[in-house]
Amino acid sequence: MIKNYKADIARYVASEYRNSLLTLSLKEGLWALAEYRFSHWVYYDVHIPILRQILGFISVFWHRIIITLTRIELPKYTHVAPGVYIPHGGSIVIHPDVMIGKYCTISHGVTIGIGGRGKNKGCPKIGDEVYIAPGAKIFGKISIGSYAAIGANAVVTKDIPEKGVAVGIPAQVISDKGSQDFIFTPERPVEPYWE
Ligand SMILES: CC(C)(COP(=O)(O)OP(=O)(O)OC[C@H]1O[C@@H](n2cnc3c(N)ncnc32)[C@H](O)[C@@H]1OP(=O)(O)O)[C@@H](O)C(=O)NCCC(=O)NCCS
């Protein structure tokens, strides 16, 4: 839990070029991730019944407070690899069965959820270093390849290949330039273009 949360903080620092204390106190995405990492840990890793019950109780209330404050719904059941970056809060909804790889960016207004019918019903699996721009909706039993970039307000209902850039409704792949210019990591931090 702590290790994964530290990776999230490091990702914020790499993406925003700020010191970690300032980043931590200002970013509502990190408030939500603190709750998510804690609740995920309690749900999957705490097996002592009484402790699980007490921490589970805290987790339920903390989760409701986070949703109210940040409008980020990241359920404890969802699997999110370390180093996720949520630049802004607001209208972010993620289904419990979604899987998200490492170093992804999830912008405001993004929904990643269940879709499809019958045997096609399911949730997306998102690869590593995927950039998801504001307002994008991704749903159904699909996979988004690593290093893909999903455009602002895109509606993605089909698989997107590795490094695919997808825009529009329904989303179409327009290039294979990928996410590399939009994803910053501790190994590859943002260069401050504003200085
Ligand atoms: C998807 C995205 C990452 C692709 O970036 P890119 O690979 O550099 O692509 P380009 O910007 O060169 O655009 C390529 C083409 O797609 C179009 N396009 C780009 N984004 C689009 C979008 N979200 N919806 C529809 N068309 C889009 C461009 O107009 C351009 O069309 P053209 O070839 O006819 O001129 C980017 O366009 C995007 O949506 N970024 C989000 C930006 C944003 O919301 N910033 C605020 C963050 S808080």
On the question of pLDDT at 73 being above 70, the answer is yes
pLDDT of 87-115, one tens digit each?
A: 999 999 999 999 999 999 999 999 999 99
Burial string for 106-134 (b: 16+ CB within 10 Å, else e) reads bbbbbbbbebeeeeeebbbbbbbbbbbbb
Average pLDDT over residues 15-38: 86
Return the best residue to mutate from 85, 132, 174 for the ligand 1 pocket (most ligand atoms within 8 A of CB): 174
Closest residue by CA, ligand 1 atom 27? 167
pLDDT score of 16: 86
- Decide whether any atom of ligand 1 lies within 6 Å of the 168 Cβ: yes
Calculated CA dihedral for residues 158, 116, 126, 182, nearest 10 degrees: 50
Q: Please answer whether residues 83 and 185 qualify as being in contact, where contact means their C-beta atoms are separated by less than 8 angstroms.
A: yes
- State the Cα–Cα distance between residues 25 and 189, nearest whole angstrom: 20
R_g (Cα) of the chain, nearest Å: 17
Lowest pLDDT segment from 9-13, 75-79, 120-124: 9-13
Average pLDDT over residues 63-86: 97
Where does the pLDDT of residue 129 fall: very low under 50, low under 70, confident under 90, or very high at 90 and above? very high
Where does the pLDDT of residue 21 fall: very low under 50, low under 70, confident under 90, or very high at 90 and above? confident
Average pLDDT over residues 114-135: 97
- Decide whether any atom of ligand 1 lies within 6 Å of the 169 Cβ: no
Burial of 147 (0-12, 13-18, 19+ CB in 10 A): buried
Burial of 161 (0-12, 13-18, 19+ CB in 10 A): middle
Q: What is the pTM of this model?
A: 0.95
What token pair was written down for 118? 């019958």
Q: Please answer whether residues 130 and 118 qualify as being in contact, where contact means their C-beta atoms are separated by less than 8 angstroms.
A: no
pLDDT of 157-189, one tens digit each?
A: 999 999 999 999 999 999 999 999 999 999 999
Q: With pLDDT > 90 as the criterion, what percentage of the chain qualifies? A: 90
Q: With pLDDT > 70 as the criterion, what percentage of the chain qualifies? A: 97
Where does the pLDDT of residue 127 fall: very low under 50, low under 70, confident under 90, or very high at 90 and above? very high
Q: From the alpha carbon of 153, which atom of ligand 1 is closest?
A: 23
- Decide whether any atom of ligand 1 lies within 6 Å of the 22 Cβ: no
Return the best residue to mutate from 15, 16, 131, 167 for the ligand 1 pocket (most ligand atoms within 8 A of CB): 167
pLDDT score of 193: 66
